[in-house]
Amino acid sequence: MRAAARDAGVSPATLSRIENGHVPDIETFERLCRWMGADPAEFFDGPQQEVVGTVNFKKLDAVSPATATALGELVLAVFEMVRAESQPG
């Protein structure tokens, strides 16, 4: 795993988190796609699914509920932009 992480330009801990089901940030996702020679759009094709995400903060009081909501909306907006850009036509 360490060699693969080094080749991909990410940390072994990042690969381990992804292996355990965590979704990488967009920069890491793009880096891994380049490393694998995969088109990022390949991961968004298929039947329409409900978008579900989670965010974990190290401390409960790290951000206010309003900030957490705003961050969630931002992540969903970026996801929609990436999906729209990956659609043919």
Which pLDDT value is given to residue 48? Answer: 59
Quick one: which of 1, 30, 26 has its CA closest to 16? Answer: 1
User: In whole angstroms, what is the distance from residue 78 CA to residue 72 CA?
Assistant: 10
Q: How far, CA to CA in Å, does 63 sit from each of 25, 49, 68, 70, 74?
A: 19, 29, 6, 11, 15
pLDDT tens, residue order, the chain (89 aa): 888 889 999 999 999 999 888 889 988 999 999 899 988 888 876 665 565 666 666 676 777 888 878 887 888 888 888 888 877 76
Q: Where are the domains of the chain?
A: 1-38, 47-89
Which pLDDT value is given to residue 84? Answer: 83
Which pLDDT value is given to residue 53? Answer: 64
* Token reading at 25: 């940030």
Which pLDDT value is given to residue 35? Answer: 92
